[in-house]
Amino acid sequence: MPLRLLKYGFKRDHAEPRYFNTPAALKDSYDVVIVGAGGHGLACAYNLAHYHGITRIAVVDRGYLGGGNTGRNTTIVRSNYLTPEGVRFYDRSVQIFKGLSAELDFNLFYSERGHFTLAHNEGTLRTARWRAEVNKHYGVESEVVGPDDVKRACPEIDLGCGGRHPIVGALYHAPGAIVRHDAVAWGYARQASAKGVEIFQNTAVTGIETSNGRVTGVVTDRGRIKTGKVVSATAGATPTILKMVDLESPIEIYPLQACVSEPMKPWLDTIIVSGSLHVYVSQTARGELVMGAAVDPAELHSTRSSFEFVTGIADQMLDLFPFLAGVKIVRQWAGMADMTPDFAPVMGKTPVAGFYLDAGWGTWGFKATPVCGETMAYTVANDRNHELITGFGLDRFERFEMLGEKGAAAVGH
């Protein structure tokens, strides 16, 4: 149990300390500047300060803390990936997540639910078997189960899916979980700030200065900062930031939409995902259904949300759960997903000395927040890629060495 719960439980007054401090002005120089005050950037700042003793850090964001994809995802945590690189990396994230409320002294409402990826045909079942074997090899709990197991875990599901796409089995991943996404960003921000990290919201980066192939500074709309190390941890802005250091990547930006229903009595314990129907759903502690789909079909740098999305997802949900007809969708939104050709991230050192990337998070980034914090902080502190991210380098695209995570990254891509 987070210590704060006990501390405030026994206190007469419950004055909550400020979550984090915002200094009046930027300093002239910092040891590290992190672009992006989402979960990844803040986790990196916290890990640098806590585990590596580097505290002269500025985290800058053109918007507000956690206002990008950290606050726009559907909060799913899992590690049932397809490639050895992916499985080991996301498994480390799940392990950190399990102890994170205690580490950050902040209740993140981490809730282990089990995760079913439904198969509606033999082809999907084959990928499920493949994933299960790779997962088991790396010690991650995953198994292929039959339609009866799905029905036992979720009696409300229509296994026939309206007669159109009968469920023939599923990949079951017991550690699959949900966690309060904004709290992850706030928890990291609070602890980073307590250790001296300075967080500047509404501060846009307009340029990154280099000399002889090395980073020397960052230009923002609040002033210039001298620094030898910059971490780019943005979603939806990576191509813009890369241009500032004359680098390119194959990242393209697509909207990823999601929505939430009115609250209902608890009926859905597990997380249900269907790649064929392009839908994933879980139920929050407040009773709302949180639902998402595949990325939009066309590239777009926007967080607008569409009527097509909400009617499409309602259709697919009703195939799985016909009793939901009449339940209202109360809110919808979108994030900007940095899609890579192989559905794996881009991390670590780059050809520009002192410029580090935490990017390419497409539709798979939130669950990686803790392991990104750990591995990026190690990489920045030692100027050496952490061994868990060596497969995710930007140079893999030049070498045509794709990772091939498409079968496990999300839904329907």
**Interacting residue ranges for ligand PYC, rule: CB under 6 A:** 74, 76, 78, 280, 292, 363-364, 409-410
Determine whether 234 is exposed, middle or buried from the number of CB atoms within 10 Å of its CB (0-12, 13-18, 19+): buried
Nearer to ligand PYC, 292 or 360 (CB): 292
List all residues 6 or more positions away from 240 whose beta carbon is below 8 Å from its beta carbon. Answer: none
Q: Tell me the closest approach of the beta carbon of residue 189 to ligand PYC, in angstroms.
A: 23
Neighbours of 269 (CB within 10 A): 12
Which of 97, 89, 38 has its CA nearest to residue 63?
Answer: 38
Which residue, 36 or 292, has its beta carbon nearer to ligand PYC?
A: 292
Burial 237-246 (b: 16+ CB within 10 A, else e): bbbebbebbe
**In the bound complex, what is the minimum distance in angstroms from residue 100's beta carbon to ligand PYC?**
18
d(CA 131, CA 142): 8
Residue closest to ligand PYC, measured at CB: 410
- Looking at the Cβ atoms of 116 and 321, the one nearer to ligand PYC is 116
Q: How far is the CB of 350 from ligand PYC (least distance, A)?
A: 25
Burial of 164 (0-12, 13-18, 19+ CB in 10 A): exposed
Strand order in the sheet with 205-211: 205-211, 214-220, 223-226
- The token duo for 190 is 């609070």
CB-nearer residue toward ligand PYC: 106 or 343: 343
The minimum distance between CB 362 and ligand PYC, in angstroms, equals 8
Q: Which is nearer to ligand PYC, 59 or 76 (CB)?
A: 76
Contact 100, 187 (CB under 8 A): yes
Shortest spacing between CB 173 and ligand PYC, in angstroms:
10
State the nearest-atom distance from the C-beta of 365 to ligand PYC, in Å.
Answer: 9
Phi-psi region for residue 138, left (φ > 0), alpha (ψ -120 to 50) or beta? alpha
State which residue, 74 or 379, has the beta carbon closest to ligand PYC: 74
Please state, in angstroms and as integers, the Cα–Cα distance from residue 126 to each residue in 82, 129, 407, following that order: 12, 5, 11
Shortest Å, Cβ 78 to ligand PYC = 5
Q: Which is nearer to ligand PYC, 218 or 271 (CB)?
A: 271
